[in-house]
Structure 1
Amino acid sequence: MRIIAGANRGLKLVDVGGGDIEARLRPTSDRVRESLFNVLNGGAFERPIENANVLDLFAGTGALGLEALSRGARFASFVDNGRVSQKLLRENIRLARRQDQTRVLKCEASSLPEAQEPCSLVFLDPPYGQDLGGAALVSAAAKGWLAEDALIVWEESKPVLAPNGFQRIDTRKYGGTHITFLRYGG
């Protein structure tokens, strides 16, 4: 696993092998991450990564948020309550030298604290098939984490339905991974 592009291009992140089933770690592959960021940078969406405030829910290793920082995001908040995830996440932030641009929250994604600042770009990569994403988005909205018109990138094993207050705008399939793009509000 590595950072694909930007200031940290080529940086090798901490290896978790095929993932950690017990810790619910299933890292987004380099290929899927590259395709996802090509879509984000391709002009299909109005919210560029550049200067974005990013929320990475179910962050795991932090690869999605760190990729966004490498490509010009201003700040990233990572949320994961797993012991293994926290260790990997902190090590990857250290490797990328992004301590000053990150905050790590150890809590359930559906029980977020109040936000200090809303985020315009949200990565949501819950454990597949456990129906955790919708509750996390509702919590993020209620606690002020989502800027009006925020772009949500939801990775799941199947296309997802948009919760109330969100609009589905696109879905892409990469092997067994479905990426659903949502817009908050409006």
Structure 2
Amino acid sequence: MSVPKGEVRPTTDRVREALFSILHPLIKHADVLDLFTGSGAFGLEALSRGARTARMVDASRASCTTAKANLSKTGLEGGTVIQGDAVQFVKRELTAGRKYDVVFADPPYCKGPLDRDFVVELVEAGVAGLLKDDGVFIAEVQEGWGTGSEDSAGFDGLRLVDTRRYGKNMLLFYRLPKE
């Protein structure tokens, strides 16, 4: 699989394998949204494991070109690559009324107090509204700042149900609150 040079920090194979082991019961026939897709690895893996659709979004033209090429090489069906800002895309999807079984976000890490925390921005944009009733929102963050700090992982409208650590990287799993 090709990766755009210098622009992306792909999820490691180890983390992706662990993630898909966790998601195994959800992926078959799932509608997947992959935000900050980079090379498209998450969306492509989901399709290869039986997802019905995978919409892969990235602001970078180079990332989208690479993700499209990777999608073409695999011959997998149901994948769409969209160039655009992930936060704005979430807002448009809400307006369109689209829902997903799995929403995965692997944004640039918040590494200091002046960095954007894209996970917070996605939550504020309404990412919870894109989840089907049993859907899951997964954010990959780096331990330390922003959403990656112990006291900042919770959000109104989403319930943190699991946290997995892989070195300094963390996968945060959110679901809609039970009524």
TM-score, length-normalised on structure 2? 0.82
Identity of aligned residues (%): 38
1:136 to 107, 113, 122: 122
Which residue matches 1:8? Answer: none
- 2:13 pairs with 1:30: yes
The amino acid of 1:123's aligned partner reads F
Query: CA separation in 2, counterparts of 1:105 and 1:162?
Result: 29
Query: CA separation in 1, counterparts of 2:101 and 2:57?
Result: 16
Query: Which structure carries more helix by proportion?
Result: 2
Query: CA separation in 1, counterparts of 2:58 and 2:169?
Result: 20
Please report how far the alpha carbon of residue 185 of structure 1 lies from its aligned counterpart in structure 2 after TM superposition: 4.3
1:162 to 134, 154, 167: 154
Which residue matches 1:14? Answer: 2
Pair 155,165 (structure 1): closer, same or farther in 2 beyond 3 Å = same
What is the root-mean-square deviation in Å for CA atoms of aligned residues?
1.9
Could you list the runs of 5+ residues in structure 2 that have no partner in the other structure? 111-115
The answer to whether the Cα contact below 8 Å between 1:149 and 1:185 also exists between their aligned partners in 2 is no
TM-score, length-normalised on structure 1? 0.79
| CA deviation map 1:127-164 (0-9, x unaligned) | 0013011212343538x532233201111102451322
2:134 to 133, 142, 149: 149
The answer to whether the Cα contact below 8 Å between 1:140 and 1:146 also exists between their aligned partners in 2 is no
Could you list the runs of 5+ residues in structure 1 that have no partner in the other structure? 1-12, 42-46
In structure 2, the residue corresponding to 1:36 is in which secondary structure? helix
1:119 to 100, 121, 144: 100
The answer to whether the Cα contact below 8 Å between 2:26 and 2:101 also exists between their aligned partners in 1 is no
Please report how far the alpha carbon of residue 79 of structure 1 lies from its aligned counterpart in structure 2 after TM superposition: 1.1
